[in-house]
Amino acid sequence: MSWLPELFDDHGAAPWVLVHSQQQFLCDELGALLPQAFWRSRGAASLLEVPLGQWRGERVLLVELDAPDHSLGQWQAVRQLMFSATGDEFSLYRYATQIGLWARQHRFCGSCGAPTQLLGYERGAHCPHCRLTQYPRLSPSIITLITRGDEVLLGRAPHFPPGMYSTLAGFVEPGESLEACLKREVREEVGVELGATRYLASQNWPMPHSLMVGFFAEYASGEIRVQEEELEDARWFALDQLPHLPPRQTISRYLIDTYLLERGRLVEPVLPG
């Protein structure tokens, strides 16, 4: 899969389109990747169009709409597609979601307010008036599995599906290291102190433009005190009595499954793309 812009003047050169708005995609019975000829036949107006690059050797055009138009067909949220798509398909949807949001939010210069132009040689929105170029945004965040022997500390946010618990996460503040962010977020959300930490893996996450950096963290001290603004519950779970967990496309599940494997459980962690 090539994420170079692969820009081209004639939009007809792209056989495929992704039609996106507000973290949702227009879909048919096969998914969100639609033939461009089919899309053009609908005659709908787009807010902007952005060449994405190549997927499986063929060019893909991102069509961004002002709002989801349900008269065009069925729409699915990128979170829904996460559960049904294969790994490389979800990587495509994830990338398109972030590029669509960036292109929508940078149609005008953040410095002088003039209209921007998408560059033809790199992924940038350039202001011809003040010459500021704005690039796609990434917001680093930590995500950590807190361990205590054969127990793990998991939390539950109000928006989670019923019964699901997950690892703790939070955004990095200006001036913070990843390790400092990890310890601060855990202290704020559940009130415990951490000992040794270990980096494991990362995942790009399109809600809306995060780079999730995954750690193991050993419990050091303290009793759980839930930060009610962030979580509705947090507790220790024995490894043989785990609750409903996040799906296997997520780095949270990868952290949990990897720790289970390290503790002798027969699982196969799936490294998220």
Q: Is 135 annotated as a binding residue?
A: yes
| Residue 9 pLDDT class (50, 70, 90 cuts) | very low
- Shared domain for 96 and 170, answered yes or no, is no
Is 220 a domain residue? Answer: yes
Q: Is 262 annotated as a binding residue?
A: no
Percent of the chain residues topping a pLDDT of 90:
69
- Shared domain for 143 and 251, answered yes or no, is yes
Is 129 a domain residue? Answer: no
pLDDT tens per residue, range 138-192: 999 999 999 999 999 999 999 898 999 999 999 999 999 999 999 999 999 999 9
Q: Is 156 annotated as a binding residue?
A: no
Give the strand pairing for 117-118 and 151-156. Answer: unpaired
- Shared domain for 144 and 45, answered yes or no, is no
* Beta strand ranges found along the chain (DSSP E): 16-21, 24-27, 34-35, 48-55, 58-64, 74-77, 117-118, 125-126, 133-134, 139-148, 151-156, 168-171, 193-205, 210-221, 233-238
Q: Is 193 annotated as a binding residue?
A: no
Q: What CATH number is given to the structural domain containing 38?
A: 3.90.79.20
Q: Is 181 annotated as a binding residue?
A: no
Q: Is 96 annotated as a binding residue?
A: no
- Shared domain for 182 and 248, answered yes or no, is yes
| Residue 22 pLDDT class (50, 70, 90 cuts) | very high
Q: Is 234 annotated as a binding residue?
A: no
- Structural domain range at position 219: 139-262
Cis-peptide into 68, omega within 30 deg: no
pTM recorded for the entire structure: 0.86
Q: Is 27 annotated as a binding residue?
A: no
Alpha helices in the chain (DSSP H): 36-42, 78-84, 87-105, 178-190, 251-262
Is 192 a domain residue? Answer: yes
Give the strand pairing for 139-148 and 210-221. Answer: parallel
Residue 84 predicted with pLDDT over 90: no
**Which residues lie across from 54 on neighbouring strands?**
2, 59
pLDDT tens per residue, range 228-243: 999 999 999 999 999 9
Is 4 a domain residue? Answer: no
Instruction: State the total domains in the chain.
Output: 2
CA 194, 157, 142, 152 dihedral sign is positive
- Shared domain for 97 and 157, answered yes or no, is no
- Shared domain for 74 and 185, answered yes or no, is no
> Given this model, what pLDDT does residue 87 score?
67
Q: Is 169 annotated as a binding residue?
A: yes
Q: What CATH number is given to the structural domain containing 150?
A: 3.90.79.10
Which residue is listed with tokens 């005659």?
A: 43
Q: What is the mean pLDDT of the chain?
A: 90
Is 131 a domain residue? Answer: no
- Shared domain for 95 and 26, answered yes or no, is yes
